[in-house]
Amino acid sequence: MHEKIKLKEKIGYGLGDAASSMFWKIFSMYLMFFYTDVFGIAPAVVGTMFLITRIWDSCFDPFVGIMADRTKTRWGKFRPYLLWTAIPFALIGILTFYTPDFDEKGKIIYAYVTYSLMMMVYSVINVPYASLLGVLSSDRKERTTLSSYRMVFAFGGSLLALWLIEPLVNHFGGSLNSKTGWLYTIIVFGIITTIFFWGCFFLTKERVEPINDEKPNLKEDLNDLLKNRPWWILLGAGIGALVFNSIRDGAAVYYFKYYVSSTVSYSINVFGENFAMTPTSLYFVLGQAANIIGVIAATPIANKIGKKNTFFGSMALAALLSVLFYFLGKNDVLLIMVFQVLISICAGCIFPLIWSMYADSADYSEWKQGRRATGLIFSASSMSQKFGWTIGGAATGWLLGYYGFQANVEQTAVTQNGIQLMLSILPAIAAGVSVLFILLYPLTEEKLETIGHELNDKRTTTK
């Protein structure tokens, strides 16, 4: 049960989130912009679409977890979904960024259909992937290490996407408003994600078996979930953290295009081609690089002071720095980048922790109730992402509409100030909510040590 996980498998596990995070980051940072400035839909309409489709999709996640828990193949419960869903994931992602020649109503319907399908196929591949952490190892420190590898690769995939997205769109289409440029760029990323998902499938192995091998019972599984207090607390903390990131990410393109308005560009060389990197791209790339630093720092800090304390400190500092971000002027480009690095380091710290804490909550449920439903427990992780992204994404569209945003024109002082708030004060409030939830989290390191020993003793006895 405590088999040492080899480096090859840790890398393989990380490839799965590298694939997911490429599309996730493109969606969270560019999809609102794509729909308003390229596709031609009003921001308030996009915000409402995000709310409706994501609420449905968030409710869909537990069904995927339940289905995965009941899957039995020679490859395990969760790994097969990486093999089966990789190509549909890429194809629907490409359709999401395709712009048909429809009227306004037709475009809205097309956006609703393709975006809803994208979020559903994301669940079908990502919920089993997240659940895989709970069965790769029963050792909680090994899980934190695996989670850190996952997050390093996740932010690495995001970094690659954000580094290349604007240069590739400009290369294929000539400008960031090019429909062709976006389509061809997403095709490139679709090919990459398919290869990465398949790599994750072939390089990983499911090891942890439930103590009680009885036939899964949905009613009892749901009842156990409802009684799992740590699960509910993590759900609230995760939603707050995702709202924090979602509003900041969704508003960043508008912040640089309509507030900072910097014309400085930075040249990079990719496969022998020189591409210009905009301040927006630099901001995103620095953020992802800083996220990776936070992910790497999370494990040694958590091993020293505990996961709960590390989570609390990171989110509290991110909230404080975000408040200070509001006072930066449009000419303070260097300070904007510095604060982006500092805030992103804090944000990066929490993500490997929360995935590892979900695995701990699965152990808690098995210890408390005598039953293990890893897929259902881990669907909470995807569910919190979706709910947080839902609230943050919808709020981004609604706030832009509220502040009077109009695409591709000079913005009023009120609109510019609103965009500033969306990069600073409003995300800080969401981070504060996450901090309040994590203060209530009951699973201390001492408690987890006791749970781990008792579960391992039971597994040894039942063999």
Cβ atoms of 218 and 66 within 8 Å: the answer is: yes
- DSSP category for residue 370: S
Domain check: are 61 and 134 in the same one?
yes
Domain check: are 208 and 70 in the same one?
yes
Q: State the greatest distance between any 2 C-alpha atoms of the chain, in Å, as a whole number.
A: 70
Q: What is the pLDDT of residue 201?
A: 95
Angle at 310 between CA 307 and CA 311, to 5 degrees: 85
Give domain status of residue 264, yes or no. Answer: yes
Give domain status of residue 459, yes or no. Answer: no
Arithmetic mean of pLDDT over the chain: 84
Q: How far apart are CA 18 and CA 25, in angstroms?
A: 10
- Residue 184's Cβ-count burial label (10 Å; 0-12, 13-18, 19+) is middle
Domain check: are 219 and 97 in the same one?
no
Q: Tokens in use for 50?
A: 């995000």
Q: How far apart are CA 216 and CA 220, in angstroms?
A: 8
Residue with tokens 């960024």: 97
Q: How many CB atoms lie within 10 A of CB 256?
A: 23
pLDDT in tens, 167-189: 899 889 888 888 999 999 999 99
Domain check: are 151 and 39 in the same one?
yes
Q: How far apart are CA 18 and CA 128, in angstroms?
A: 15
Nearest to 90 by CA among 189, 201, 210, 237: 189
pLDDT level of residue 98 (50, 70, 90 thresholds): very high
Domain check: are 145 and 236 in the same one?
no
Which residue among 213, 236, 262 closes a domain? 213
How many helices (H) does the chain have, and how many strands (E)?
A: 16, 2
- DSSP category for residue 255: I
Domain check: are 88 and 190 in the same one?
yes
Domain check: are 432 and 299 in the same one?
yes
Cβ atoms of 441 and 233 within 8 Å: the answer is: yes
Domain check: are 304 and 346 in the same one?
yes
Cβ atoms of 382 and 61 within 8 Å: the answer is: yes
Q: At what angle do helices 7-26 and 179-203 cross, to 10 degrees?
A: 160
In terms of residue numbers, what domain contains 35? 1-213
Buried b (16+ CB within 10 A) or exposed e, 2-18: eeebeeebbbbbbbbbb
Q: How far apart are CA 258 and CA 24, in angstroms?
A: 24
- Whether 213 has a pLDDT exceeding 70, the answer reads no
Q: How many CB atoms lie within 10 A of CB 267?
A: 9
pTM beyond 0.75, yes or no: no
Give domain status of residue 404, yes or no. Answer: yes
Give domain status of residue 251, yes or no. Answer: yes
- Whether 275 has a pLDDT exceeding 70, the answer reads no
- Whether 281 has a pLDDT exceeding 90, the answer reads no
Give domain status of residue 462, yes or no. Answer: no
pLDDT in tens, 288-311: 889 889 988 988 998 889 889 999
Question: What pairs with residue 35 in β-bridges?
Answer: none
- DSSP category for residue 176: T
- Whether 1 has a pLDDT exceeding 50, the answer reads no
Domain check: are 50 and 83 in the same one?
yes
Give domain status of residue 460, yes or no. Answer: no
Which residue among 186, 213, 240 closes a domain? 213
Domain check: are 432 and 445 in the same one?
yes
Which residue among 154, 185, 213 closes a domain? 213
- Whether 383 has a pLDDT exceeding 50, the answer reads yes
pLDDT in tens, 311-366: 999 999 999 999 999 999 888 888 999 999 999 999 989 888 887 888 788 788 77
- Which residues, 6+ apart, have CB-to-CB distance to 66 below 8 Å? 218, 221, 373, 375, 376, 379
pLDDT in tens, 395-426: 888 888 889 888 778 888 999 999 999 999 99
Buried b (16+ CB within 10 A) or exposed e, 82-104: bbbbbebbbbbbbbbbebeeeee
Ranges 202-211, 264-273, 443-452: which has the least confidence: 264-273
Q: Which CATH number fits the domain that encloses residue 327?
A: 1.20.1250.20
Give domain status of residue 335, yes or no. Answer: yes
What are residue 411's phi and psi, to 5 degrees? -90, 150
pLDDT in tens, 111-167: 999 999 998 999 899 889 988 887 888 777 787 788 888 888 987 888 888 888 888
The structural domain count of the chain equals: 2
Domain check: are 268 and 400 in the same one?
yes
Give domain status of residue 300, yes or no. Answer: yes
Domain check: are 245 and 208 in the same one?
no
Look at phi and psi of residue 408 and say left if phi exceeds 0, alpha if psi is from -120 to 50, else beta.
left
